[in-house]
């Protein structure tokens, strides 16, 4: 595990970044369907009608729904991002730190592929 972005009520999601033994780096994200569907890559658009139908089916049955997504990235992209994230974490002003860390998370949590 390279990084973990904890759940926040502002982002309504959480993420983990993993480097697999084969060297691939992936971000896995789970969160509110209302938010996550807006973070999916353009290639996922054909699936949205089916996804919406499934979410409606589960939610009308009284079930809570979450959406999972992922995206691959280069190790260099993660390293550059991690420098920015670590610097944001050192911000002494609490509100500025929280705002900067949310912006850091948003930078990676986009163009996701749908997992379920």
**Gap between the Cα atoms of 83 and 96, Å rounded:** 17
Contacts of 103 (CB under 8 A, 6+ apart): 88
Q: Model-level pTM?
A: 0.89
Residue 19 has pLDDT above 90, yes or no: yes
* Tens digits of residue pLDDT in 86-115: 999 888 898 898 899 889 999 999 999 999
Beta bridge partners of 25: 19, 73
């Amino acid at each position: 595990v390279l990084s973990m972005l904890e759940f926040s009520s502002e982002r309504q999601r959480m993420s983990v970044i993993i480097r697999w033994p084969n060297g691939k780096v992936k971000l896995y994200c789970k969160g509110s369907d209302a938010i996550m569907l807006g973070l999916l890559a353009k290639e996922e658009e054909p699936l949205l009608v089916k996804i919406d139908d499934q979410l409606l089916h589960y939610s009308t049955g009284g079930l809570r729904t979450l959406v999972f997504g992922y995206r691959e990235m280069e190790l260099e992209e993660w390293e550059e991002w991690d420098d920015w994230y670590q610097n944001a974490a050192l911000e002494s002003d609490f509100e500025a730190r929280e705002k900067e860390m949310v912006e850091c998370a948003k930078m990676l949590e986009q163009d996701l592929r749908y997992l379920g």
